[in-house]
Amino acid sequence: MPGLTFEQIHQRLVEKFGDAVGPLSPPKKDPFCVFAAPRLGEICRFLKDDPALYFDFLEDLTATDHPKENLIRVVYHFYSYRHRHLFIAKVELDRKDPQVDSLEPLWKAANWMEREVFDLFGVTFRGHSDLRRILMPDDWVGNPLRKDYTESGGYRGISNVRDNPLDLYLNMDRQVRAEQAAAQSPEAAAPPAVAPKAEG
């Protein structure tokens, strides 16, 4: 059974849900449309169950951060193995308190991918069975993939900065040279053993 085009799928969704499905993006490479965040679960259930759409595969779930617009966009890629068609949807969430329904009841694949978005972007997925950090440690501060994230300067006493290892070798080299010079001419005034460390 041949798949539907992106426009046909969008048309079908608009007929069913009206305003909750935003207009199609101007065709900039991959098109997408924006769903109204409160109705995401409902629309996705339709996407999955409707026999003409039948999106059985949640291909990707990620997010993008837009501090200027004060938005976090969660991006969903759906794919149907039966019809071989693809659909891309986004929801726009308030950056201060991003919350959206979890898709885990529909696609188990959402479990880990939502945990990743929760971890790296700080989006809360309502109804998720096990929402905790996945890649970063449990007590990590901040959400690293947000654009305004700054490192807090280490983790549990482990510094995330270090001296340039080359400086160490340079100093060792200077020391050895100074010792050699001192051994060759013991009466000559020995140069300082360690040259002052270069800035930076």
Partner 1 sequence: MALDQLIVTKFGTDAEHEMILNMGPQHPSTHGVINFVVQADGEVMKKAVPQVGYLHRAIEKIGEIVTYPGFMPYTDRIDYLAAMFANEGYALAVEKLLGLQVPPRAQYLRAISCELNRIASHLISLGTMAMDIGAVTPFPYALRERESINDLLEALCGARLTYNYHRIGGVAFDMPEDWMPLCRKWLDHFEKILNEWDRLISFNEIFVERLAGMGTIPAEMAVNYGLVGPNLRASGVDFDLRRDEPYGAYPDFKFMIPIGTAYAGKHRGGQVGDCYDRFYCRVLECRESLLIVRQALDKFPDGEFMAKVPRKIKPEVGEAQSRIEAARGEMAYYVVSDGGERAYRVRARTGSFLAMGIIEDLSRGLMIADLVALIASLDVVAPEIDR
What residues make contact with partner 1 under the rule CB under 8 A? 28-30, 32, 56-60, 62, 64-65, 75, 77, 81, 84, 88, 107-109, 111-113, 116, 120, 133-137, 144-145
Judged by beta carbon, residue 50 or residue 59, the one nearer partner 1 is 59
Minimum distance between the CB of residue 59 and partner 1, rounded to whole angstroms?
7
Minimum distance between the CB of residue 28 and partner 1, rounded to whole angstroms?
3
Whether the Cβ atoms of residue 75 and residue 145 lie closer than 8 Å to each other:
no
Judged by beta carbon, residue 34 or residue 182, the one nearer partner 1 is 34
Minimum distance between the CB of residue 89 and partner 1, rounded to whole angstroms?
13
Q: How many beta carbons lie within 10 A of that of residue 91, not counting itself?
A: 24
Judged by beta carbon, residue 8 or residue 175, the one nearer partner 1 is 8
User: How far is Cα 144 from Cα 62, in angstroms, rounded to an integer?
Assistant: 14
Cα torsion for 87, 134, 94, 34, to the nearest 10°?
Answer: 0
Minimum distance between the CB of residue 131 and partner 1, rounded to whole angstroms?
14
Whether the Cβ atoms of residue 174 and residue 194 lie closer than 8 Å to each other:
yes
Judged by beta carbon, residue 17 or residue 105, the one nearer partner 1 is 105
Instruction: Indicate left, alpha or beta for 75 from its phi (over 0: left) and psi (-120 to 50: alpha).
Output: beta
Judged by beta carbon, residue 77 or residue 174, the one nearer partner 1 is 77
User: How far is Cα 111 from Cα 193, in angstroms, rounded to an integer?
Assistant: 60
Whether the Cβ atoms of residue 104 and residue 110 lie closer than 8 Å to each other:
yes
Judged by beta carbon, residue 43 or residue 110, the one nearer partner 1 is 110
Minimum distance between the CB of residue 19 and partner 1, rounded to whole angstroms?
24
User: How far is Cα 88 from Cα 31, in angstroms, rounded to an integer?
Assistant: 7
User: How far is Cα 126 from Cα 110, in angstroms, rounded to an integer?
Assistant: 12
Minimum distance between the CB of residue 107 and partner 1, rounded to whole angstroms?
6
